[in-house]
C-alpha cells in the first residue's frame, strides 16, 4: 500500500508538472496572439490614417482648380446681374422697387459667395472640405436668388 501511495503521489506530481507546462504554453500562446493582434491593429490604424491624409492631399491639390471654377461661375452671375440692372432702369413704380429689392438680395448673396471663395485661398487641408461645402452652398443660394429674380422679371 505504501508503494501504491508513493506511486500515486509520483503520478500526481508528474501530472501537475505537466499541467503547469501546458498552462504556461497556453498562456504564452495567448500572449503572442494578443501581441500579434495588437500589432496588426496598429498597422491597420496607420494605413487608414495614411489613406485619409492622401485623400485630403488630393482634394487640397484640387483647390486652385475648384477656386477657378467658382470664379467663372461668379463672373457669369456678374453678367446676369448687369442684365437685371439694365432692366431695373427700364422699370418704374412697384416693379422697379421690387427689382431693386431683388438686386439688393442678389448683391448680398454674391458678397457671401465671394467671401467663401476668398476663404478657399487660405484654407488648411483639414478645413478645406468644410469651406468647400460652404462655398457650394453660397453659390447655390446665389443661383436660386437669380432664378427667382429671373422668374419675376
Domain that holds residue 1: 1-54
Q: Which of 54, 79, 96 is the last residue of a domain?
A: 54
Given a cut of 60, whether residue 18 has pLDDT beyond it is no
The verdict on 35 and 90 lying in the same domain is no
> 61 pLDDT exceeds 60?
yes
Split into its structural domains, the chain has a count of: 2
User: For residues 139 and 149, which has the higher predicted lDDT (pLDDT)?
Assistant: 139
Question: What is the average pLDDT across 115-136?
Answer: 88
94 and 42 in a single domain? The answer is: no
Q: What's the pLDDT score for residue 11?
A: 43
CA neighbor of 86 nearest in space, from 103, 66, 108:
103
Average pLDDT over residues 90-102: 88
Q: 131 and 79, same structural domain?
A: yes
Look at residues 98, 76, 97, 93 and name the one whose alpha carbon lies nearest to residue 152: 98
Q: pLDDT over 90 for what percent of the chain?
A: 18
Alpha helices in the chain (DSSP H): 2-61, 63-90, 93-121, 125-152
> Which of 123, 125, 138 lies closest to 70 in space, CA to CA?
138
User: Do 141 and 75 share a domain, yes or no?
Assistant: yes
Q: Are residues 77 and 141 located together in one domain of the fold?
A: yes
Amino acid at each position: 500500500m505504501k508503494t501504491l501511495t508513493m506511486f500515486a503521489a509520483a503520478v500526481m506530481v508528474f501530472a501537475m508538472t505537466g499541467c503547469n507546462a501546458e498552462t504556461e504554453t497556453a498562456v504564452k500562446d495567448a500572449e503572442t496572439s494578443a501581441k500579434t493582434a495588437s500589432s496588426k491593429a496598429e498597422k491597420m490604424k496607420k494605413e487608414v490614417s495614411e489613406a485619409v491624409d492622401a485623400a485630403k492631399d488630393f482634394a487640397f491639390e484640387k483647390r486652385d482648380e475648384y477656386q477657378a471654377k467658382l470664379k467663372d461661375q461668379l463672373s457669369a452671375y456678374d453678367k446676369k446681374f448687369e442684365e437685371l440692372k439694365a432692366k431695373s432702369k427700364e422699370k418704374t413704380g412697384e416693379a422697379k422697387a421690387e427689382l431693386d429689392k431683388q438686386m439688393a438680395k442678389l448683391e448680398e448673396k454674391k458678397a457671401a459667395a465671394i467671401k467663401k471663395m476668398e476663404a478657399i485661398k487660405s484654407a488648411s487641408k483639414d478645413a478645406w472640405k468644410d469651406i468647400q461645402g460652404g462655398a457650394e452652398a453660397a453659390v447655390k443660394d446665389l443661383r436660386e436668388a437669380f432664378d427667382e429674380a429671373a422668374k419675376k422679371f
